[in-house]
Amino acid sequence: MKRTTTLVSVLALAAWTAGPTLAGPDDHQLVINDEIQIITEAAAPAHMDGIDTIYSGWRFRADETQALELDDFENPGMIGVENAMAIWETVDGSEGKSCASCHESAESSMKGVRAVYPKWNEAAGEVRTLEMQINDCRTTRMGAEKWKWSGGDMVDMTALISSVSRGMPVNVAIDGPAQSTWEKGKEIYYTRFGQLELSCANCHEDNYGNMIRADHLSQGQINGFPSYRLKTAKLGSVHNRFKGCVRDTRAETFADGSPEFVALELYVASRGNGLSVEGPSVRN
């Protein structure tokens, strides 16, 4: 009788330890539509000290979530891309122009753009994100109203611009005139915010692969943005995600498009130099 009890408890222990272990990224390969090879693992860029290997957030998601990205038909983010294709051709503003009037086909003219943004703009003397460049086009060339930073049209348009660069390695410049902005972003990344006193690095550098309550922490890479979140059932911008993270530290967040978030976006993008552009991605 005693033997049986012992055996049962040993089995129970074995069953418990054999549960899913989420100690890090899985080893799955991401190939979209059976043709676009996505690099989800690469050697960390030289400027990073705390991490040797960088991983796309895709590698930290559940199999079911990962599967949604394998086929554009199943990727809900592609609905946003389709919307943006229609907007691309639609004339707006006082100049009677659409995006296509100057840029013709997004598939060829926008190829590679996502990979190098945020990027220094010499004429404006500032680092610009895709959103800033799009709104500059809208106001100065089209004579149209600005879009809201994280509004539907804007996020759909960045999804379209990302989608045509999928598979190309992220390669943002951090030297030259962009360097001071990059340094500022790095400082924000390592600064503890909020009542919980958490910096980006506390979760995404020191603890990626571990569970934070029910969530499997990734490295916080932004190569997959804009990202379709199953939780909100819509595409979200990078700054929207940043706000969510800062809010979760119980801090007052910076605003969409603030200089702080532009700097942080450049810095975080540079931590993904070498991973493929993946947006629109699917996350939980």
Q: Does 64 bind another protein (CB under 8 A)?
A: no
- Do 35 and 219 meet the contact criterion of CB atoms below 8 Å apart? no
Query: Which residue lies nearer to another protein by CB, 156 or 260?
Result: 156
Cβ-based neighbours of 62, under 8 Å, separated by 6 or more? 284
Residues 209-228 that bind another protein (CB under 8 A): none
Query: Which residue lies nearer to another protein by CB, 79 or 100?
Result: 79
Burial 139-153 (b: 16+ CB within 10 A, else e): eeebebeebebbeeb
- Examine residue 280 and say whether the peptide bond preceding it is cis (omega within 30 degrees of 0): yes
- Examine residue 76 and say whether the peptide bond preceding it is cis (omega within 30 degrees of 0): no
**Within 13 Å of residue 96, how many CA atoms lie on the same side as its CB?**
0
Distance of closest approach, residue 83 Cβ to another protein, in angstroms: 7
Q: Does 233 bind another protein (CB under 8 A)?
A: yes
Q: Does 89 bind another protein (CB under 8 A)?
A: no
DSSP H helical ranges for 92-148: 99-103, 106-109, 113-116, 130-136
Residues 97-136 that bind another protein (CB under 8 A): none
Q: Does 76 bind another protein (CB under 8 A)?
A: yes
Query: Which residue lies nearer to another protein by CB, 84 or 170?
Result: 84
Scanning 74-82, 184-192, 246-254, 263-271 for contacts with another protein by CB under 8 A, the matching segment is 74-82
Scanning 72-80, 115-123, 170-178, 218-226 for contacts with another protein by CB under 8 A, the matching segment is 72-80
Applying CB under 8 A, among 4, 17, 35, 73 the residue interacting with another protein is: 73
Residues 148-187 that bind another protein (CB under 8 A): none
Rounded CA gap, 180 and 160, in Å? Answer: 30
- Do 118 and 272 meet the contact criterion of CB atoms below 8 Å apart? no
Query: Which residue lies nearer to another protein by CB, 234 or 239?
Result: 234
Catalytic residue among 99, 137, 203, 245: 245
Q: Does 79 bind another protein (CB under 8 A)?
A: yes
Q: Is 245 known to be catalytic?
A: yes
Applying CB under 8 A, among 33, 47, 53, 74 the residue interacting with another protein is: 74
DSSP H helical ranges for 18-104: 63-67, 77-89, 99-103
Q: Residue 224's closest CA among 77, 105, 120?
A: 77
Query: Which residue lies nearer to another protein by CB, 152 or 209?
Result: 152
Q: Does 82 bind another protein (CB under 8 A)?
A: yes
Rounded CA gap, 258 and 265, in Å? Answer: 11
Active site members: 245
Which residues bind to another protein, rule: CB under 8 A? Answer: 73-74, 76, 79, 82-83, 233
